[in-house]
Amino acid sequence: MNPPTGQHTIVYCRVPNPGHWVPNHPENPSRIEALAGIKEWELPARLEESSASPAPEEALLAVHPQLHLDRLRRASEHGPTLIDADTFLTEASYEAARLAAGGVCLVGEAVLSGAANAGVALVRPPGHHATATQAMGFCLLNNAAIAARRAQALGHPRVLIVDFDVHHGNGTQHIFEADPDVALLSTHQRGIYPGTGRAREVGVGAGEGTIVNVPLPAYAGDQAFERVGAEILEPFARRFRPDALIVSAGFDAHWRDPLARLQLTTHGYFWLAGRLARLADELCGGRLILTLEGGYDVPALTGSVRAVLAALAGAEAPADPFPPPTRPEPEIHELIARVRSFHEF
Residue 1 has pLDDT above 80, yes or no: no
C-alpha–C-alpha distance, residues 84 and 341, integer Å: 36
| Catalytic residue from among 129, 167, 174, 254 | 129
Q: What pLDDT does residue 303 have?
A: 98
Residue 5 has pLDDT above 90, yes or no: no
Looking at every residue in the chain, the average pLDDT score rounds to: 96
Residue 3 has pLDDT above 60, yes or no: no
C-alpha–C-alpha distance, residues 178 and 62, integer Å: 15
| 0.95 exceeded by pTM | yes
Q: What is the pLDDT of residues 267-304, one digit of tens each?
A: 999 999 999 999 999 999 999 999 999 999 999 999 99
Confidence of residue 8 (pLDDT cuts 50, 70, 90): confident
The three-state DSSP-derived secondary structure of the chain is: CCCCCCCEEEEEEEECCCCCCCCCCCCCCHHHHCCCCHHHCCCCEEEEECCCCCCCHHHHHCCCCHHHHHHHHHHHHCCCEECCCCCEECCCHHHHHHHHHHHHHHHHHHHHCCCCCEEEEEECCCCCCCCCCCCECCECCCHHHHHHHHHHHCCCCCEEEEECCCCCCHHHHHHHCCCCCEEEEEEEECCCCCCCCCCCCCCCHHHCCCEEEEEECCCCEHHHHHHHHHHHHHHHHHHHCCCEEEEEECCCCECCCCCCCCEECHHHHHHHHHHHHHHHHHHHCCCEEEEECCCCCHHHHHHHHHHHHHHHHCCCCCCCCCCCCCCCCCCCHHHHHHHHHHHCC
Q: Which residues, in sequence order, are CB contacts of 334 under 8 Å at separation 6+? A: none
For residue 164, the number of C-alpha atoms closer than 13 Å in the C-beta half-sphere is 30
Which whole-number Å values give the CA distances from 298 to 181, 202, 251, 258, 294, in the listed order?
A: 35, 34, 10, 11, 11
Q: Is 129 tagged catalytic?
A: yes
Q: What is the pLDDT of residues 160-191, one digit of tens each?
A: 999 999 999 999 999 999 999 999 999 999 99
